[in-house]
Amino acid sequence: MPPYLIKAMSKAIKIVLKPGKEDALRRFHPWVFSGAIHKVEGQPQDGDFVEVFSSANQYMGCGLFQHSSIAVRLMAFAPHRPQELDLEFWQHKLQKAFGMRQSIGLTQSDHTNVYRLVHGEGDLLPGLIIDHYNGNLVVQAHAIGIHKYRETIAQALEQIYGSELKSIYYKSNDTLPAEFASAQPTEGFLRGNNPSAVVLEYGNKFEIDFVSGQKTGFFIDQRENRHLLARYAAGKTVLNTFCYSGGFSVYALQAGARSVESLDSSKKALELAEKNVALNFADTHNHSVIQADAVPFIRDNRKVYDLIILDPPAFAKHNKVRHNALQAYKRLNAEAIRQISPGGILFTFSCSQVVSMALFKATVIAAAIQAGREASILHQLTQPADHPVNAFHPEGEYLKGLVLYIS
Ligand code: SAH
């Protein structure tokens, strides 16, 4: 009998669900909400390993506990019953995630050495993000339980990457509960000490500052959309708004854009964008940066462009503010569409998880109507395969994009 089927006398704290609340777990949904819990046998601390049972006392799975609305993040489902999350457990899970990236051609590529190794729920590792930057890994915990295992996770990563591993940076200050993060160190090197790395993405070079950059240092999720942009950028005048480190700008210049203006409200982001343009091109005369709030800038700027990119941060973080967010997307898109020359292109995105593709599309179409311009949808875009959506957790789908041809 395989070890996980042995009915062990578990020492884990037991969480018993209310009747019917086990259904979601049978469908492999990886969260237990606090409202679904009938009783807790023991006194779990934040981050403790717990076992979850149905109201009929059937073992459903195990995971990491936290005193919050998501009370348990499931790390294994029945019949799997690990007695603890030891090195072997992490090796197995992380090797699986690595194997997937290998099978989609990201681990051995000549032109790309930046990818997401672990995408939380999408890799059945809720609360954990790991990004790979040319041998440097950035580990990010979104749950206290993951924080507790950071050293074991680092050991497992060392075994997977071997001599190719240059550093592991742990970066969780902004993603763990604020009270927890302020009481202990939640950032720092777990291995090595490279503060930045130069990576290749479809042959374009980017310097990634994972210590002081936004998120883990780079918006890896836009890789395939940046690649698509290159098809449309030759000879165009381009405005790249919300540009961060200049991802779309570098691709547009590489493709032969006539001029590219990179806009962001953050001075630090624009410094990174300029650095990345200089890293790729000896002559940077056709690139310029604008430090501004994109919304009034696009409204008041009377200049016309052949191609505009709108990639704002999430306007809506939860359902309550969704309506306002949709209005904001509509205004921004309408203003941008007005500034596009006839026969021009708009690349427009939303990374708000609560705004579905259907809603986003309806909003952008309404914006085109408001701008009084004919528009055709050329592409409907999403997040790339290294940011997978767990089939049992559709909430994991967050990035939406449209490419419009504006007549
Ligand atoms: N397109 C980028 C990622 C964009 S992230 C890429 O491919 O890498 C969103 C960016 O919007 C951040 O750099 C942030 O500094 C910027 N930002 C946030 N609010 C803004 C505003 N009101 N006006 C302009 N930029 C803003």
Evaluate if residue 5 carries a pLDDT over 90: no
- Ligand 1 centroid to Cα of residue 135, in Å, is 26
Closest to 94 measured CA to CA, from 27, 167, 3, 158 = 158
- Ligand 1 centroid to Cα of residue 227, in Å, is 19
Q: What is the reported pLDDT for 320?
A: 79
User: Contact, 165 vs 156, CB < 8 A?
Assistant: no
Provide the 10 A C-beta neighbour count for residue 68.
Answer: 12
User: Contact, 120 vs 129, CB < 8 A?
Assistant: yes
Evaluate if residue 317 carries a pLDDT over 90: no
Closest to 264 measured CA to CA, from 281, 240, 247 = 240
Evaluate if residue 247 carries a pLDDT over 90: yes
pLDDT tens by residue, 70-127: 999 999 999 999 999 999 999 999 999 999 999 999 999 999 999 999 999 999 999 9
Instruction: Give the whole-angstrom CA distance, residue 312 versus residue 325.
Output: 11
Instruction: Give the whole-angstrom CA distance, residue 350 versus residue 314.
Output: 7
**What's the pTM?**
0.95
pLDDT tens by residue, 259-293: 999 999 999 999 999 999 999 999 999 999 999 99
Q: Which residue has the least CA distance to atom 7 on ligand 1?
A: 247
The residue-averaged pLDDT of 232-237 equals: 98
Residues tagged active-site? 351
Q: What is the reported pLDDT for 318?
A: 79
Evaluate if residue 315 carries a pLDDT over 90: no
The CA distances from residue 207 to 286, 368, 401, in Å, are 20, 36, 25
Closest atom of ligand 1 to CA, residue 222: 7
pLDDT tens by residue, 215-224: 999 999 999 9
Element spanning 262, H or E: strand 259-264
φ and ψ at residue 341, rounded to 5 degrees? -70, 155
Sign, CA torsion 50/175/170/393: positive
Closest atom of ligand 1 to CA, residue 264: 25
In the structure, which protein residues have their CB atom closer than 6 angstroms to any atom of ligand 1? 214, 219, 222, 242-245, 247-248, 264-266, 269, 293-295, 311, 313
pLDDT tens by residue, 9-63: 567 899 999 999 999 999 999 999 999 999 999 999 999 999 999 999 999 999 9
- Ligand 1 centroid to Cα of residue 109, in Å, is 28
pLDDT tens by residue, 338-360: 999 999 999 999 999 999 999 99
Evaluate if residue 397 carries a pLDDT over 70: yes
Q: What is the reported pLDDT for 334?
A: 97
Pocket mutation for ligand 1, best pick of 216, 264, 293 (most atoms within 8 Å of C-beta): 264
Give the model's confidence band at 1: pLDDT under 50 very low, under 70 low, under 90 confident, else very high: very low
Q: What is the reported pLDDT for 9?
A: 59
Closest atom of ligand 1 to CA, residue 247: 7
pLDDT, mean over the chain: 95
Whole-number percent of the chain with pLDDT over 70 = 98
Give the model's confidence band at 395: pLDDT under 50 very low, under 70 low, under 90 confident, else very high: confident
- Ligand 1 centroid to Cα of residue 311, in Å, is 7
Q: What is the reported pLDDT for 322?
A: 87
Strand order through the sheet with 187-191: 114-119, 128-133, 136-141, 167-171, 187-191
The residue-averaged pLDDT of 121-149 equals: 98
Strand order through the sheet with 287-291: 287-291, 259-264, 237-241, 305-310, 340-350, 400-406, 375-381
